[in-house]
Amino acid sequence: MKRNFNYLKIWLSFFILFIFSGCASKTLNYEPKEVKSDYNATWQYSFNIAELDELIQKTLKNNENLNTAVLNLNIALRQAGLNKVDLFPTPSASLSASSSRDISYHDKSKRSFSSGFGLSWELDLWGRVYNAYESANFNAKKSLLNLQDIQISIINSVISEYFNILYLNERKQNLIKNLTNMQALDKIVRQKFNLGRAELLELAQSNANLLSAQNSLKSTNKELENAYEALANLTRTELIPQGYISDITRPSLDFGIEVVGDENFSFSKPQELKIAWIERILTRPDVNEKLASLNAGFYDYKIAQKNFLPKITLNGGLNDSDKNFNDAFGFNLLSGALNISLPFLDYARLKKNLKISQDQFEILRLAYKQSLNNALNEAIKYAAFYQIDTQNLKNQEKIVSQREQIVEIYNLKYNQGAVSLKDLLEAQNALISAQNTLASQKYELINDEINFYKAIAR
């Protein structure tokens, strides 16, 4: 019997050694990286528009999504604090009173009072508890970065919506002028038709153009209402911008690199930009949020590894009891205990949990890599958009200038009786259409600037 018991001890020792060596051999090829959580955006104030700056400040104060993110951050910070507390002994105290009586002998009641104070401490021999704290700490950083990312996205939306309203204000103003001209043109065509100098086709075309102008104005009013609502939902204010996008200075983008010229430099060469912008992009909150998740996942995997190892807990306490209440607090009884649990006996379950943690880590690794690549490509895209839209804007400015010259010529000819009012009004409408296109192009260019600065974490 004793011999069999010795065999059992030897077999159990080899089994424990096998489990420990197996766990230790499976390590991830990863070293936790520094998470940058001190992002401080400044690009949103570069427009120097007091009204816009006020809207941004009110948004940061009033937006519910931001307030929710702040609460989530507080929860994550408190959770990290709880995990840190686990590194230290856990105190406990108790107080009890009891009363008993043997009713078969009609004895008097016997009373007893007891008290106790104890400490329980899991020895963190393998670093499992500290790994849990590290994981919770990175999750707290993740919540902070999520808050920053939400701030950036909302600010980006506020700025874009603000300039959208300025653009729509200008388009509406131009469409009102266009409608006035269309009404005058329609009146001329009707008069000519009544005099037999215009065909029914010309009258129908004029009427269709008038209706189209009316619909364009109504559509713009509808877009404005949607923009007002979007801005109000973001800022929780009733402020309605009254300006025009033509009043805004055309943006001049700082690429953060030296652009030599179109012949020597091209945004179709991503490697040039990746080298120039990689450090800026590495400070982006959304990229660092993925990195924080990756670091937390790494420590979660280490915890799953160490869950195979024995857990050792020390318990100690001072107790006392007495029939008198005042004498039950002497704490004359000292007790202590050492508890060792062997979780590796549930090997199959722990093994599956370890594989799950490993797969989850690999998912997080891929997500971080994807976020970094997406951020780089986003910066390249908006830099290219900015170059294209800048050229489009310059071309459109030339078109508007030419249309203005054409209107001046028609004005002179009209005053000299060389052309009809109809010709002059049509020239004015062509100018108005070009001005609307210019306003739209300027709005696109401003959006390129907003999105580029957001992309490179300026």
Task: Render pLDDT for 207-221 as a digit per residue (tens, 0 to 9).
Answer: 898 999 999 999 999
Give the architecture-level CATH label for domain 25-99+108-455.
Answer: Up-down Bundle (1.20)
Any alpha helices (H) in 26-95, and if so which ranges? Answer: 50-62, 64-85
pLDDT in tens, 8-55: 445 545 555 555 555 544 677 888 999 988 777 777 788 888 899 999
Residues forming a β-bridge with 313:
122, 339
Whether pTM exceeds 0.75: yes
Q: Say if CB 289 and CB 145 are below 8 A apart.
A: yes
The residue among 136, 131, 141 whose CA lies nearest residue 79 is: 136
Compute CA distances 337 → 122, 249, 303, 313, whole Å: 12, 76, 25, 8
Q: What number of helices (H) and strands (E) belong to the chain?
A: 9, 4
- Of 142, 153, 40, the C-alpha closest to 368 is 142
CB of 190 within 8 A of CB of 252?
A: no
Indicate if the pLDDT at residue 337 is higher than 70: yes
> How would residue 62 be classed by pLDDT, with cut points 50, 70 and 90?
confident
Q: What is the predicted pLDDT for the residue at 264? A: 39
DSSP state of 457: T
Is the per-residue pLDDT at 199 higher than 70? Answer: yes
Rounded to the nearest 10 degrees, the angle between the axes of helix 347-415 and helix 285-306 is 170
CA distance 354 to 358: 6
**Residue 22 Cα to chain centre, angstroms:** 40
H/E/C letters for each residue in 250-290?
CCCCCCCCCCCCCCCCCCCCHHHHHHHHHHHHCCCHHHHHH
Q: Please write the tens of the pLDDT for every residue from 257-314.
A: 444 333 334 455 555 556 667 878 888 999 999 999 999 999 999 999 999 999 888 8
